[in-house]
Structures are given as C-alpha cells and as structure tokens.
Amino acid sequence: MNPTLLSLIELQHMDRMNPTLLSLIELQHIDDEIRGHRKQRDELAANLVRLRAILVQMDKDLADKRGRLTEATSFYDDKNIDLAADTERLGHAKQKLLAVSRTKEYAAMQKELDTLRKKSSDDEAELERLAAAIQEYRASVQAQEAKLAEIQAEVAREEATSGERLGELEKIIGGIASKKIVIVQTMPKDVVSRYEKVIEKRDGVAVVLAAQGRCCGCRMQLPPQQWVKVQMGKELHHCASCLRYLYYTPQAAAAAVG
C-alpha cells in the first residue's frame, strides 16, 4: 500500500481507538526507551569497573616484578662482594707464593692459587650473566610501567567521558520517567497495576501488537471473535496465553508482516 495512504489510515484508526489502549501503547513505548537507556548506563558502568580491575591487576603484576628485580639486584650485590673478597684472597696468595722457598710448599701454594683463580673467573662470568639478565628484566619492567601509564591515562579519559554520559543518561531516564507519571495519572488504576504486573513477569513487555490473528508476543492464535475486536481497538483485550494487552494498527501490522 502507498505509505502516505497507509499513514492516513493509521491516523484515522488511532483516532477511533480506545484512549486507555493508546495510553498503554505509549506507556510500553516509554518503558522500552527507559530500558534501552538503562542498559546503556549499566554497560557504561560495567565497562568502567572492568577497566579499573585491569588496572589493579596490572599494578599488582608490576609490583611483583619490581620485587623480583630488587631480589635479583641484591643477589648481584652479594655476589660482587664475594668476588671482591676472592680477588683479595688471590692477591694474598700471590704475595705468599713469592715468599715461599721450599719446592713442596711452592707446589701446594701454586695449586691453591689456581683454585682461587678458577673460582674468581667463574664468579666473574656468573656476575656478567646476572648483570645482563637484570638489565633485560629492568627494561621489561620499564616497558610495563610505560604501558600501565598509557592505560591509566586512557582509563582516566574514559572515566571522564563515561561520567558525563552517565549523568546525561540519568537525566534522560528521569525525564522519560516523569513523562510516564503524567500519562499514568490519566489512566484507570487497575489497568496500570495490571500493566506493571505483566511487564514484570513478561520480560518488560506488557503491550503487544496482534497481526494476522496472532498475538505477536507469544505467537498464540487469537479466537476469531477476539481478533475482530482487537482490530477495532474499541476496548482492552489481552492475550489468554501470555496475558499481555493486545493492540492492532494497520501500519504496525503491515510492518510486522513485512
């Protein structure tokens, strides 16, 4: 059907519809909007919580790494002191060797000197390896520190923009909720309380379209007499199966059928 004609028919149809039914449709529309905004708000908040948790974990990892670096550095320092002591012992042994005159004693001293030399050179090699490993580890800690700072800045920016957006969303939700209060005041109390009960039990949907003789909420086939009445829209009807209020408008039904 021609879209202009269809929207004209739609307007005419809605003019004849029961005002409480029209209010119910609007109420459902408002609740859908509120739900959408709340979902957005909760996602934003959850995202911030997630980001903060990542930061805490990164900070903890970094603290562990720094601890290990401190341990390795102090081990290195101890080894350096050992090496200095070995070098000193080596010096003494050399002095002693010069003073020795007997061959037997000389051979024993020479052996001691060799052992000391070997130990000293092993220690030196180990220290070198240790220094290289420490340097590499320190570089990795520094890289992680830089990364953490980067993420911290990103989280700070995210917190600022999300905070702003969260405030906006709260304001929007508040505005829509007050619109709802105004509409509710014009409606019969029993209809509103039934609406609220159904919306709570049926995934936030208490008013659904009926198209091609079916409830679009649960796909249940309506009794023919009820389907006719629902199409006329003069009174309130609800689906016997899912208990949702039913409405029909030509445009919505056409869109639902596709």
Chain contacts with Zn ion (rule: CB under 5 A): 215, 217-218, 220, 239, 241-242
Quickly list H helices, 100-207: 103-185, 189-201
Q: Shortest Cβ distance from residue 258 to Zn ion (Å)?
A: 20
Token representation of residue 233: 């829209």
Measured from the CB atom, is 32 or 77 closer to Zn ion?
32
Return d(Cα 38, Cα 63) in angstroms, integer.
Answer: 38
Measured from the CB atom, is 139 or 228 closer to Zn ion?
228
Token representation of residue 224: 């023919």
Q: Shortest Cβ distance from residue 16 to Zn ion (Å)?
A: 24
62 with 148: CB under 8 angstroms? yes
Q: Shortest Cβ distance from residue 224 to Zn ion (Å)?
A: 16
Phi, psi of 217 (to 5 degrees): -80, -45
Measured from the CB atom, is 37 or 244 closer to Zn ion?
244
Measured from the CB atom, is 41 or 214 closer to Zn ion?
214
Q: Which residue has the tokens 């005159």?
A: 101
The total number of residues written for the chain in this structure: 258
Q: Shortest Cβ distance from residue 24 to Zn ion (Å)?
A: 15
